[in-house]
Structure 1
C-alpha cells in the first residue's frame, strides 16, 4: 500500500509540475486540522513530507491559523505549538479565520491539497477545477502566463534564426568567383629516367708490333 500511495503522489506531483509549473521547494501551507492530525498520528511533518512528495519542502502557516487554534483552547494547544515552528505568512483575513480552507483551495486551479488519512499523508488527486483548466489550455481556449513567456522566447529565437539565415543568403548573392572558373591544369607526369651510366672508356695502349730482325750476312 505504501508503494501504491507513493506512485499516486508522484503522478499527481508530475501533473502540477507539467501544467502549473510547480517547482521545488514545494511550499506547503499548514492549517490547524493538519497539525492536529499529525500530532494525533505521531507524524513528523518536517521529516516525512519531503520523502513523500519527492522533493524539498518549505513549510509555513498563517496568522489566521494560529488565531483559530488559540481560540479553540487547550484541546488544540499541541497543534498550535506545531504550527508555530514554521514560517508565519501574512494573510488578509486575519480578523476572520478561514473555516473552509479545503473547499476554497479546490475552487482554485493548480493548488494541490494534502490530507492525513489512516496515519498517512495523502496528496489528493487534482480537483475538477484543475482538470478543467488543463483541458481548456489544451483546447487553446486559455494560455497560462508561463506558457505565454515560453512561446514568446521561442518566437524570439526563431526570429533570430531567420535573420541569421537571411544574412547568409545575402552574403552568397553575387558573381561567381573568377578563380572557380579556371580550368584545372592537367598534371603532367614527368617520367624521370635515370641518367645513363657513363661508360668508362679505357684507352687501349697500342703495342709496337715486333719487327723481324734482319741479320747481316757476313760477307
Structure 2
C-alpha cells in the first residue's frame, strides 16, 4: 500500500486570538490609532544628492590620463600570483600613464597579514606608489576606499574583491579594475584597451 501524500495548504496563516477573547486584558483590546501629524498637510521637501556635471549616465567624462588608481590589498596579491608587474599591467590595460595610490589602511592590512604576504608589502612600499594618509578610525580598507571614492570621483579602484566591487558599482562614475585571464581588465571606462568588449 502506498502512502497518501499530504499537500500543504496554500497561504496558510498562523491562528491569532481575536480581540473579543476573554483571555485578553481590557487595556490590550483597544486598537491603537495612529496619530496624524500637524505637518501632514504640508508639502514635504526631499533633498536629493547633487551629482557631478562630469557624469554621463554611469561614465565619468572627466577621467583622463594620467590615471589615479587606488589599490586594494588583494589586487597586489593577485598580481603577484599571476606574475604581473602592477604598474606595467595597469599601463598595458589603459594605454596611459598611471599613478598608483595606497592608503594607510591597505598598508596596515598587508602588515597584519604577516610573513605570507611580505612580497606584496615590499611591492606596495615601492617609491613609485604614492601614500594617502587616513584620518578615520579603524583599519578596514574597504570602507576607507569607498569613502574616499564617494568624496572624490577622480580615482579608479583596483580590486579583485567581489563584495567591494559590488559596493563600488553602486557609486556612479567610478571605474573598477580587476584581473581576468592573467591581465588587468577595467569596467565602466569604454575608451580603455582593457575594457571588456560588449
Normalised to the residue count of structure 2, the TM-score between the two structures is 0.50
Aligned to 2:182: 119
Structure 1 runs of 4+ off > 6 angstroms? none
Question: Aligned runs of 1:1-219 on 2, under 5 Å?
Answer: 19-85=60-126, 86-93=129-136, 95-99=138-142, 101-125=164-188
CA separation of 1:74 and 1:94: change in aligned 2, threshold 3 A: farther
Choose between structure 1 and 2 for higher RCO, CA contacts under 8 A separated by at least 6 residues.
2
By how many angstroms is 1:121 displaced? 0.9
Q: Which has the larger radius of gyration?
A: 1
1:16-73: CA deviation from partner (whole Å, max 9, x where unpaired): 9x74310211001111100000111110122232232021111111000010111111
Task: Specify which structure has the higher proportion of strand.
Answer: 2
RMSD (Å), alpha carbons = 2.5
Deviations 1:186-212 (CA, angstroms, capped at 9, x unpaired): xxxxxxxxxxxxxxxxxxxxxxxxxxx
5+ residue gaps in structure 1?
1-14, 127-219
Any unmatched runs of 5+ in structure 2?
1-55, 143-162, 190-198
Contact (CA 8 Å) 2:89, 2:183: kept in 1 or not?
no
CA distance in 1 between partners of 2:165 and 2:134 (Å): 16
Contact (CA 8 Å) 1:61, 1:83: kept in 2 or not?
yes
